[in-house]
Amino acid sequence: GAGVSQSPSNKVTEKGKDVELRCDPISGHTALYWYRQSLGQGLEFLIYFQGNSAPDKSGLPSDRFSAERTGGSVSTLTIQRTQQEDSAVYLCASSLNIAWAGGNSTYNEQFFGPGTRLTVL
């Protein structure tokens, strides 16, 4: 089946412009995550959506960053007034809910998209 898709795959923009990055999660996955991966660095958590609950925005680095998830499916990450330090690969991931079986929880893994490489000139 189809995996997580992201668009565009590459985005070059000028400092000060706004950009929108899109993520299409795997159908049926209720959890959606955004991460940022700077060159040679690990994953930096940005925001997490779970069903109809309020998103966990604790990782957003500034108020220039925002994200929404419409209809519990597609998500858009918006960066306003981009800065050169925003240049990175932006990764989206989705997963199923926690599954409970026999009193034990089974945590489903995340499935990652290919990422959007953002370059701010």
Which of 23, 86, 115, 116 binds other proteins (CB under 8 A)? It is 115
Cα distance between residue 46 and residue 58, in whole Å: 7
Tell whether residue 83 is a contact of other proteins (CB under 8 A). Answer: no
Q: Is the dihedral of CA 40, 42, 47, 49 positive or negative?
A: positive
Segment contacting other proteins by CB under 8 A, of 16-24, 28-36, 60-68, 69-77: 28-36
110 binds other proteins (CB under 8 A): yes
Q: Which stretch binds other proteins (CB under 8 A): 18-26, 61-69, 80-88, 104-112?
A: 104-112
Q: How far is the CB of 12 from other proteins (least distance, A)?
A: 19
> 19 near 12, Cβ under 8 Å?
no
Q: How far is the CB of 16 from other proteins (least distance, A)?
A: 29
Does residue 93 bind other proteins (CB under 8 A)?
A: yes
